[in-house]
Amino acid sequence: MIKFEQVSKTYPGGFQALSHVDFHLQKGEMAFLTGHSGAGKSTLLKLISIMERPTAGRVLINDHDLSKIPRRQVPFVRRDIGMIFQDHRLLMDKTVFDNVALPLLIEGYSIQEARKRVHAALDKVGLADKVRHYPMMLSGGEQQRVGIARAVVNKPPLLLADEPTGNLDPKLSMDIIRLFEAFNQVGVAVLIATHDLGLIARMRYRTLTLREGKMIDDGLQEPSA
């Protein structure tokens, strides 16, 4: 589903964030992306969501070359990708409902249709009773779950998460990962960037490892225990 072919990214100023990265994530696969901070995890995710463009090489999603997607069509690519952030990027002056409904309204759903979907998504992350709350009234873990509900509400085939458990304690982190597992089980491909090695160790998923912009382990050479 996601294929990187000799992808390099050099930021203006000369910093090389990624060099010659190759990997292939299958349809419906769940994987972790790890490495120390500054190793290029976020850059790799940004290349998938076209927040950045690669300096060299090709990024393909579902066999579509992202370099052939013009700027005008980038929003339509993003509608196929659910994105989750460490700082969850919720709109603080909007209710939980408005936050989760945002992708649907952008896609042209009516409020009535969106309502069903939003409730289903919030139900899945266990926040069905917090619809009318504002994000400020929720705990960190709950805010992150609102972010996840927003990412999955339009049922994207692909979920990207950038340090989704960064600010959470181990128990809450595990809950979040279990949520991703639940989505993965119904066929969604999930790629989670994290430096929480303890968390990865407890899971049996493919782990891609970056070091200084190079992929030193794509998780296929030796099946992780």
- List interacting residues with other proteins (CB under 8 A): 27-28, 49, 51, 61-62, 64, 69, 72-73, 75-80, 83, 89-91, 102-103, 105-110, 113, 116-117, 120-121, 124, 150, 152, 155-158, 183, 186-189
Closest contact distance (angstroms) between CB of 164 and other proteins is 15
Sheet containing 64-65: order of strands: 16-25, 2-10, 56-61, 64-65
Closest CA to 103 of 137, 62, 152: 152
Closest contact distance (angstroms) between CB of 109 and other proteins is 7
Closest contact distance (angstroms) between CB of 82 and other proteins is 9
Closest contact distance (angstroms) between CB of 225 and other proteins is 28
Closest CB to other proteins among residues 62, 67: 62
Closest CB to other proteins among residues 39, 148: 148
Closest contact distance (angstroms) between CB of 174 and other proteins is 20
Closest CB to other proteins among residues 120, 131: 120
Question: Token digits for 29?
Answer: 């696969």
Measured CA to CA in angstroms, residue 12 lies from 43, 67, 108, 142 at distances of: 13, 18, 37, 37
Strand partners, 148: none
Closest contact distance (angstroms) between CB of 13 and other proteins is 14
Classify the phi-psi angles of 49: left when phi > 0, otherwise alpha if psi is within -120 to 50, otherwise beta: alpha
Closest CB to other proteins among residues 101, 210: 101
Closest CB to other proteins among residues 61, 210: 61
Closest CB to other proteins among residues 78, 133: 78
